[in-house]
Amino acid sequence: MGEQQHVKFPQEVVDEYAALGVDLPALFSAGHLGTRMGVRIREASAERVVGTMPVEGNTQPYGLLHGGASAVLAETLGSIGSMLHGGSSKTAVGVDLNCTHHRGVRSGLVTGVATPVHRGRSTATYEIVITDEDGKRVCTARLTCMLRDMRPGDGERAGAAS
């Protein structure tokens, strides 16, 4: 779990955050909860965020992937997309998450792909599709984030939290 992630970010985004002294991969990581759950961000841009999560360790008592685990993956991916859309002057705060669970998964890795439905000045909405290793849809989620102006110290707290 402590391995170094290699997330693919657009170069202009990396440059924007580097100019502010912000470690972009750390800022847009899965965070403490995502790390405990094994979430790995594979690709990140405002247009598409891809991440994976193991089923093992994230199951409910019947041995199936826990619906809350799917929600964590979905909110992580949609929040990263929203933050990248908002840019370095905004922070994204989730205000609505809806998850529909289509099928159970007992093992392997699930992959989530977040794509924008709406990207405005004050909100961003992403659809997140989670699939199993066979490409079968496990969960469809929709996340709406409020984009608020970054306050003094927000970036420092985010960097310290990672």
Q: Which of 75, 127, 133, 156 is catalytic?
A: 75
Catalytic-residue membership of 56: no
The phi, psi pair for 120, rounded to 5°, reads -110, -170
Q: How far apart are CA 161 and CA 74, in angstroms?
A: 20
Question: Which among 45, 43, 60 has a CA at the least distance from the CA of 13?
Answer: 45
Say whether 135 sits in a helix, a strand or coil: coil
Contact 75, 143 (CB under 8 A): yes
Contact 43, 1 (CB under 8 A): no
Q: How far apart are CA 103 and CA 111, in angstroms?
A: 14
Contact 141, 98 (CB under 8 A): yes
Chain-centroid distance of CA 29 in Å reads 8
Tokens 């933050």 label which residue? 83
Active-site residues: which are they? 75
